[in-house]
Structure 1
């Protein structure tokens, strides 16, 4: 029986995800020094410009300023409790990010939705390999990472 090396498993996973409709982008294309990269540093986890574009697209009735605040809320979840952070992010992912804004002189409460569950084809998903994140002097590199493409 032939041995499978880690890179072969990674390639098989990417190919399978592509067959399911995921778009493949190599992690090096998201390096801060790569042309047209959405990241200023390896500590940037979210692709903020893509996130804001997608949030604007799937929340057309919410003012752009409120959408930008929602993107900031998503990027600023950071307490000393990783479990609580993950629960908060998951809640916003499913329910939307609560925002307030002025409309016709009144303050309106609303939610900025992160995923379009009503129209799944409005979402595009990425599979990325070797995505590097550096936090607290720890270098982390995922073999395969699934991202919601924020540009579709």
Structure 2
């Protein structure tokens, strides 16, 4: 009995299964809305997950400051996309000094949005078919979240289509960048 060639949908499902075996949690994009983890098509950061990580990692920071810290991490400075990406990369890899006050005392802990030393402390999530609104509506195949931050986008092409190329996927990612940034 001949097996049917792997199509793009099956390739997506196989990719998700591989990530689940590596320890990633999985949700279809619709489930994010149903669970209340996402309430806007314009927002891609999962603030509940980011705040939960920050509370656990930095328990001495007051809750209202955790919300402000999450905002700082989710909205890096920069007029142009390249500048925002560079600033975000710096926060991811080197952390940042976060200043807050409690009872007229100032605190400035060095915080990281990812626990690089203890990866098991992070929240890994794979989401497929995530609708995003910007200049235009887009729906990347797979988005990888770490602690509620969308860090990786997979644009899959049918592995059996000889016309599909890496360049096609790259071009599609570039279009997403323009259309939703």
TM-score, structure 1 length as denominator? 0.83
Deviations 1:7-34 (A, max 9, x none): 111011111111111111111112xxx3
Q: Name the structure 1 match of 2:48.
A: 49
Q: What residue in structure 2 maps to residue 131 of structure 1?
A: 130
Give the aligned length. 146
| Aligned Cα root-mean-square deviation (Å) | 2.1
Normalising by structure 2, we get a TM-score of 0.71
Q: In structure 1, what is the equivalent of residue 20 of structure 2?
A: 18
Contact 1:99–1:109 at 8 Å: present in 2 too?
yes
Runs of 4+, deviation exceeding 6 Å: none
Q: Which residue of 2 aligns with 1:59?
A: 58
Aligned to 1:116: 115
Distance in structure 1 (CA, Å) of the matches to 2:7 and 2:59: 46
Label 1:66 to 1:111 Cα distance change in 2 as closer, same or farther (>3 A).
farther
The answer to whether the 8 Å contact 2:78/2:87 transfers is no
Go from structure 1 to structure 2 and tell me whether the alpha carbon gap of 1:67 and 1:58 turns closer, same or farther (over 3 Å shift): same
Q: Is the 8 A contact 1:42 1:134 kept in 2?
A: yes
Deviation per residue, 1:32-61 (Å, 9 max, x gap): xx3322222100110112211111111112
Shift of 1:87: 1.2
The 8 Å contact of residues 70 and 112 in structure 1, kept in 2 or not, is answered as: no
Kindly indicate which of the two structures has a greater share of residues assigned to strand. 1
What residue in structure 1 maps to residue 37 of structure 2?
A: 38
Which protein is bigger by CA-based radius of gyration? 2
